[in-house]
Amino acid sequence: RQLKDFFSNHQGKNVPLELIQKIVAEYFGLSSVDIRGKKRTKAIAYPRQIAMYITRNITEFSTTEVGLAFGGRDHTTVMHACQRIEDRMKTDSMLEPTIQNLIRNIKEATL
C-alpha cells in the first residue's frame, strides 16, 4: 500500500509499463516479448505474474489496462496473478525482497 501511495503521488501512470516488463524480464533472464507473449511455462508465467503484481501495486493502471499490456490478457487473469503472488509471499520468504529489489530498480530507472 505504501508503495502504491509513493508511486501514485509521484508518478502514477508515468511509470511506463514497458519499463516494468523490461526490468522484470531481464531479472529472470527473459525478454519483454516473453513477458507479453502467450507461453504459459512456469519459467515465463511466474515472472509475468510478478510483473503484473508490481504494475498493479506501483501504478494506477486498471486490471483491464494491465491485461492489455501483457499480451491482451483478461482483467481476471491479472487479478489471479496478483492473488497468486500475494499468496506465495506468505510462504516464500525470498519473494518479497525480490519484488522490493525490482521496484527499487524500476524507481531508479524512472528518475
DSSP 16-77: -HHHHHHHHHHHTT--HHHHHSS---HHHHHHHHHHHHHHHHHS---HHHHHHHTTS--HHH
Domain count, the chain: 1
Three cell numbers at 97? 525482497
3-state SS, residue 93: coil
Residue 79: inside a domain: yes
3-state SS, residue 81: helix
Residue 30: inside a domain: yes
Residue 49 has pLDDT above 90, yes or no: yes
Residue 23: inside a domain: yes
Residue 111: inside a domain: no
Domain extent at residue 86: 2-106
Please report the pLDDT score of residue 37 as a whole number: 96
Tens digits of residue pLDDT in 76-86: 999 999 999 99
What CATH code is carried by the domain that includes residue 79? Answer: 1.10.1750.10
Residue 50: inside a domain: yes
Three cell numbers at 44? 515465463
Please report the pLDDT score of residue 5 as a whole number: 52
